[in-house]
Amino acid sequence: MVEPGAYQQTIISTEEAAVIAREVRRLIREGDERSAWEQLRHLHPADMGSIMAALPRTSREAIVAVMSPDAVAWMFRHMNPVQAARVSARLGTGILSLALAQVNPRTALDILRRMPGSRAREVAEAIGQPADDPAVETTPLDTAAGFMVTRFPTVHPDERVESARVNLRRLSREDHNFTHVFVIDDDSQLIGQVAMIDLAMSADDAPITELIMPSMAPVPAETPREECARLQRHYNLTQLPVVEGGRLIGVIPSTFLLSASVAQDTEQILQVANVAGDSPDGPLLGSIRTRLPWLTINLATTFLAAFTVSLFESTLARVVVLAAFLPVVAGQGGIGGTQTLTLIIRAMALGELVGMRARRLLTRELILGLIHGVWLGVLVAVIAALWKQNLGLALVLGVAMLGNMAMAGVTGAGVPLLLRRIGVDPAVASAVVVTTVTDVCGFLLFLGIASAAITLIV
């Protein structure tokens, strides 16, 4: 068994990490697990963990076999719980239980809560956590309660700086991630906070009342993660106190708040493609469960587009060349609409549209759509005229393009605004609605105008 070396705070670039990962894989292939572990043991735990998580299962098991549970526990103690849970989900129950039994119970719980339910219960039982511990079972991870820690520095308002210093010394080193000491009365009611920097610069006998400041944004335990991330960004906060009936029950420290914020952004990015919760290296069944329902819903919308085209079969039968241009008008509309909705959804998430009038946003996107439509319409008409030597077709194509780009602008802005107003998350549903509208409208405009002006084209 190899013990972890001196903990060196070395940081490496992703390129260096990739080189080490390749070397580790090579050594394991050659059956030299000990040398492979030598490559990993001097790394920062965040790098050790992410390289281990990326290894194929058999290589990971080979590495874990030469690590002591101490080494695994040490790694977990120094990773953030979100990353630690990602690594844990990939380790065997045996080694994981031995390791988690060695980290402090609160850290173990933080990791367990982030693992898939059935695995978490299995490991919890193995390390003697009561299997029905309500904290493992029920704390929703997407609320303030799911991110808060329950050990934090406090001080009574009647005391002096010296007492705060004593209280701070009682915290373990794993709890050193605080920017404030919280001022609570005998009943744990949150009265205010003292900045760590103010404590650091004050004399021992300074009364706490001289340093106290109002606590920004105490949030209830059930506050959604999304709102915690917004408060942090909007008000520039480093941590959030969590309260229940005015009593301080937890604190979200800055690194956890950052994790919440990153997780929120990840969810937002993945939701636009409707793959939130999926991962490129998890179990296949999970990916199918996330993606297939969405692909099936989308099939319905493409059939709507197909139905639109089929309305014009007689026109297409007379001028089959029209079929080639179907993807041009619809595709450009889809891109234009997606540009607009991406901007609007992100601005919404950052709170930049608060108080802005919908009419102003819609008008602006309509004007932009018209400007883009004129340019693209002329361009597409010229290309079509040169390619197919058909001026009528060029004219129809140009007009349809102009119309669809204007439509794309209005829909791209209007759909997310409308969805938000009716209480649907715009990040989830906007893209499918907008592309369906630009597809159907593109086909209707192009084939409709072509049918009306068929004598110009034939």
User: Tokens standing for 15?
Assistant: 């390129």
Stretch that binds a copy of itself, among 60-68, 87-95, 130-138, 375-383 (CB under 8 A): 375-383
- The residue among 98 and 358 lying less far from a copy of itself, judged by its C-beta, is 358
CA-to-CA distance for 62 and 393, rounded, in angstroms? 66
Check binding of 374 to a copy of itself (CB under 8 A). Answer: no
Check binding of 9 to a copy of itself (CB under 8 A). Answer: yes
Check binding of 76 to a copy of itself (CB under 8 A). Answer: no
CA-to-CA distance for 111 and 88, rounded, in angstroms? 8
> What distance lies between CA 256 and its chain's CA centroid?
14
Check binding of 421 to a copy of itself (CB under 8 A). Answer: no
CA-to-CA distance for 48 and 334, rounded, in angstroms? 43
The 318-347 site mask, x for binding a copy of itself (CB under 8 A), equals --xx-xxxxxx-xxx--xx-xxx-xxx-xx
Interface residue with a copy of itself among 5, 138, 302, 452 (CB under 8 A) is: 302
| Number of other CB atoms surrounding residue 173 within 10 Å | 6
Stretch that binds a copy of itself, among 91-99, 101-109, 134-142, 273-281 (CB under 8 A): 273-281
CA-to-CA distance for 239 and 307, rounded, in angstroms? 54
Interface residue with a copy of itself among 30, 32, 150, 273 (CB under 8 A) is: 273
Task: Specify whether the CB–CB gap between 248 and 242 falls below 8 A.
Answer: yes
The interaxial angle of helices 93-100 and 69-77, nearest 10 deg, is 60
In 3D space, the residue among 165, 129, 171 whose CA is nearest the CA of residue 149 turns out to be 171
Check binding of 358 to a copy of itself (CB under 8 A). Answer: no
Interface residue with a copy of itself among 1, 58, 118, 169 (CB under 8 A) is: 169
Interface residue with a copy of itself among 295, 382, 391, 452 (CB under 8 A) is: 295
- The residue among 324 and 391 lying less far from a copy of itself, judged by its C-beta, is 324
Residues numbered 231-270 forming contacts with a copy of itself, rule: CB under 8 A: 231-236, 238, 254-255, 258, 261-262, 265-266, 268-270
Check binding of 39 to a copy of itself (CB under 8 A). Answer: no
Q: How far is the CB of 158 from a copy of itself (least distance, A)?
A: 19
Check binding of 53 to a copy of itself (CB under 8 A). Answer: yes
Q: Is the dihedral of CA 90, 92, 96, 97 positive or negative?
A: positive
Interface residue with a copy of itself among 281, 386, 389, 423 (CB under 8 A) is: 281
In 3D space, the residue among 215, 241, 245 whose CA is nearest the CA of residue 228 turns out to be 241
The 181-220 site mask, x for binding a copy of itself (CB under 8 A), equals x-------------xxxxxxxxxx--------xx-xx---
Check binding of 423 to a copy of itself (CB under 8 A). Answer: no
CA distance readout (Å), 116 to 43, 90, 286: 27, 11, 11
Task: Specify whether the CB–CB gap between 240 and 251 falls below 8 A.
Answer: yes
User: Tokens standing for 329?
Assistant: 């008008």
At position 180, the amino acid (one-letter code) is H
